[in-house]
Amino acid sequence: MSRLVRRGITWMICCLAVLSLPQAGLAQWNANQIQPATALSQSVLIQPAELVKALQSGKNQPIILNVGPRMLYLQAHITGAEFIGPGSDPDAIKQLHARAQSVSHSSLIVLYCGCCPWSHCPNVAPAYSELQRMGFTNIKVLYIADNLGTDWVYKGYPTVRATN
Amino acid sequence: MIALQPKAGTELAPDFTLKAIDGTSIRLSDYRGKVVLLDFWATWCAPCQEEIPRFVEWQNQYRNQGLQVIGVSMDDSPEPVQRFNREFRMNYPVAVGTQDIASQYGGILGLPVNLVIGRDGNIKAKHLGMYDLMLLKRELNLQLDSK
């Protein structure tokens, strides 16, 4: 390949890179960039009914951490759940890290979000990965198929709701 | 997805006034006489991202028949909403919602939440979660056809 052709190709690649810059802004909205909930293994999931049973048993109470958006947490959250912040946000992951530092690595921690359908949730998998990286061995992620309303609140499970 | 149908479209949509992200004011009752698609959404909500381009399209397509889409974002701050609004070229009023408004609408317990509000100001349909857009379009057309 002649030097001229190689230079031409390099020039074209540079031009394409520059032209694609405006798209970079849009790409941030693309959920594919964030580890989806579907990446989690079935073995780490806990079903809503199982969690209710565990809560009602009164023993070995899990630490429940909400890794969803603040507005939705304020609207309704699982009784006893602590707000951390959306797991897709690096600041929330720092918050999770800080919160988890005072917890024994063998403690049962349940993470949940419920912002949107499981296949679209960007928050639980990054939070799970962080706890796993920190060495926690008993992490569960609450499987919320559609959203917190449908899969938890409207089923009558223990909830703290915003008052009107 | 769950469809929460108010009683035969007789429940009046709670009125609200919000400051839109372009600085203007949005008052729901100002749109009485139009068919309103009220969309509770957020920039981080992937299903919302799928719906919004369609809503932009419908706003153009049905504007003259009296459709008004209104977006109420459940983001914690207006900055990402403003950027999203520009990048998705949203052609309808958008504001950041409040806890109070969310509660008035029965609580926003997941996103998106779409409401079809008739020309009389009554809620004709409410959908929590991802909803079939063909069905939603049909519901809107039904309302647009009624004068």
Residue A71: the pLDDT is 92
Tell me if B74 and A76 make a contact (CB, 8 A cut-off): no
| Torsion angle of C-alpha atoms B52, B55, B60, B65, degrees rounded to 10 | -160
Mutate to test the interface with A, among B49, B86, B98, B109 (most CBs of A within 10 A): B109
Check CB contact of B101 with chain A, cutoff 8 Å: no
Residue B142 exposure: Cα atoms within 13 Å on the Cβ side: 12
Q: What is the pLDDT of residues B75-130, one digit of tens each?
A: 988 999 999 999 999 999 999 999 999 999 999 999 999 999 999 999 999 999 98
Q: Distance (Å, rounded) from C-alpha B102 to C-alpha B72?
A: 9
- Alpha carbon A83 to chain centroid, angstroms: 12
CA distance B20 to chain A (A): 18
A40-54, A119-133, B5-19, B21-35: range with lowest mean pLDDT: B5-19
Instruction: Supply the mean pLDDT for chain A.
Output: 86
Residues A136-150: pLDDT tens digits?
999 999 999 999 999
Cα–Cα distance between A82 and B128 in angstroms, integer?
24
Q: Given the DSSP bridges, would you call strands B122-128 and B2-3 parallel, antiparallel or unpaired?
A: antiparallel
Give the full edge-to-edge strand order of the sheet including A82-83: A45-46, A139-142, A109-112, A63-66, A82-83
Q: What is the mean pLDDT of residues A114-126?
A: 94
pTM, to two decimals: 0.83
Residue of A nearest to B112 (CA): A116
Q: Look at residue A4 in the predicted model and tell me its pLDDT.
A: 62
Q: Give Cα A76 distance to the centre of its chain.
A: 17
Mean of all residue pLDDT scores within chain B: 93
> Over 60: is that where the pLDDT of A26 sits?
no
CA dist., res. B147 & res. A28, Å (int): 42
User: What percent of chain B stands above pLDDT 70?
Assistant: 94
**pLDDT value of position B83:** 96
The count of structural domains within chain A is: 1
Pairing of strands A139-142, A109-112: parallel
Given a cut of 90, whether residue A35 has pLDDT beyond it is no
pLDDT at A8 over 80: no
Is it the case that residue A106 has pLDDT exceeding 70? yes
* Interchain CB contact of A161 with B (< 8 Å): yes
Domain of residue A128, CATH code: 3.40.250.10
Name the residue with higher pLDDT: A121 or A8.
A121
- Distance CA(B2)–CA(A53), nearest Å, equals 24
The residue segments making up the domain with residue A114 are 3-161
Q: Do A86 and B44 touch (CB under 8 A)?
A: yes
CA gap B14, B136 in Å, rounded: 21
Distance, in angstroms, between A85 CA and closest chain B CA? Answer: 11
Question: For A39-60, what is the mean pLDDT?
Answer: 94
Residue B61 C-alpha, separation from nearest chain A C-alpha, in angstroms: 24
**Alpha carbon separation from A99 to A35, A91, B10, B14 (Å, rounded):** 22, 12, 47, 39
* Minimal-distance CA residue of chain A relative to B127: A150
Nearest to B74 among A25, A72, A162 (CB): A72
So what's the pLDDT on residue A47?
98
Q: What are the respective helix, strand and coil percentages of chain B, to the nearest 5?
A: 40, 25, 35
Which chain B residues touch A29 with a CB distance below 8 Å?
43, 49, 84, 87
Per the DSSP assignment, residues forming a β-bridge with B127 are B3, B114
Mean pLDDT to the nearest integer, A51-79: 94
- Answer yes or no: are the C-beta atoms of B99 and A74 closer than 8 Å: yes
Question: At residue B145, does pLDDT exceed 60?
Answer: yes
Q: Are B131 and B47 in contact (CB under 8 A)?
A: no
Q: Tell if the CB–CB gap between B102 and A162 is shorter than 8 Å.
A: yes
> Which carries the bigger pLDDT value, residue A87 or residue A12?
A87
pLDDT value, residue B6: 46
Query: In B, which residues are within 8 Å of A88 by CB distance?
Result: 44
Chain A residue with minimum CA distance to B48: A116
Instruction: Give pLDDT, residue A66.
Output: 98
